[in-house]
Amino acid sequence: MDITVFNYTFHDVQWTGFGWEKIYDFLGIKDFIYFISSPSIQEAVFPIKLVFIFFTVVFFCAVIWFYYNSTYLQYKFLQDVSEFFSKEKYGLQKVSRNWNKIKKRADSGSESDLKLAIIEADDYLYETLQDMGYQGDTFEQLLENSDSKKILSNMDEILQAHTVRNSIVYEAGYALDISTAKRILSIYENAIKNLAAY
């Protein structure tokens, strides 16, 4: 059936007097399609196809791998789910896991383990401050140059705890009792958890 509208006649997708085939012939599209579809050309480009397919698969696998191993999924989905079930901020969960390792060492009650626990706690606080982007060559500089005063209300206690840590490291005969060790560890624990919750 022919339909004539504005001097155009549509029949099998053709214009009157000037069909699609003529357009293809004029632009050379038909010859190009025949050329690239020929068996000889397809055989010649087959190795190139294989190379492109290989790199496509590798790229796709790399995207999946980086997507799976990045923190994007944790930040976007798993973080909210984890906080919902644990009723604890996501950052605090990691802190709690790491701190439990330090606490487990201190629970032995031996002086050597208590000293080592304090050293580990001090290092953990130092790393936490660095991870938050604070700068400083020493522990004191790190605290002084940061805006952690807004977060940490016990700066003086933290510096005192760090002094005890230095005494443990540099004074071979430094004596440490359990009550002092627990107080020092409590100072570090509160500081680290306050930073993680910020």
pLDDT in tens, 23-80: 766 666 777 777 777 788 778 888 888 999 999 999 999 988 877 776 666 555 555 5
Residues of the chain with pLDDT > 70: what percent? Answer: 71
CB 139, CB 162: distance < 8 Å: yes
Which tops the pLDDT comparison, 115 or 85? 115
CB 161, CB 187: distance < 8 Å: yes
In the prediction, which pLDDT does 180 show?
Answer: 94
Is pLDDT above 80 for 187? yes
Please give the radius of gyration of the chain, using alpha carbons only, rounded to the nearest integer: 35
For residue 154, give both structure tokens.
């016990």
Q: Give me the residue label for tokens 């293809």.
A: 24
In the prediction, which pLDDT does 72 show?
Answer: 61
Q: Is 135 helix (H, G, I), strand (E, B) or coil?
A: coil
Q: Is 137 helix (H, G, I), strand (E, B) or coil?
A: coil
When the pLDDT of each residue in the chain is averaged and rounded to a whole number, the result is 78
Cα separation of 94 and 152, whole Å? 19
Closest CA to 102 of 124, 132, 86: 124
Q: pLDDT tens for residues 109-120?
A: 899 999 999 999
Mention every residue, 6+ apart, whose C-beta is less than 8 A from residue 169.
119
CB 114, CB 181: distance < 8 Å: yes
Cα separation of 51 and 46, whole Å? 9
In the prediction, which pLDDT does 120 show?
Answer: 96
| Sign of CA pseudo-dihedral 77, 79, 85, 89 | negative
CB 8, CB 15: distance < 8 Å: yes
Phi, psi for 10 (deg, rounded to 5): -100, 120
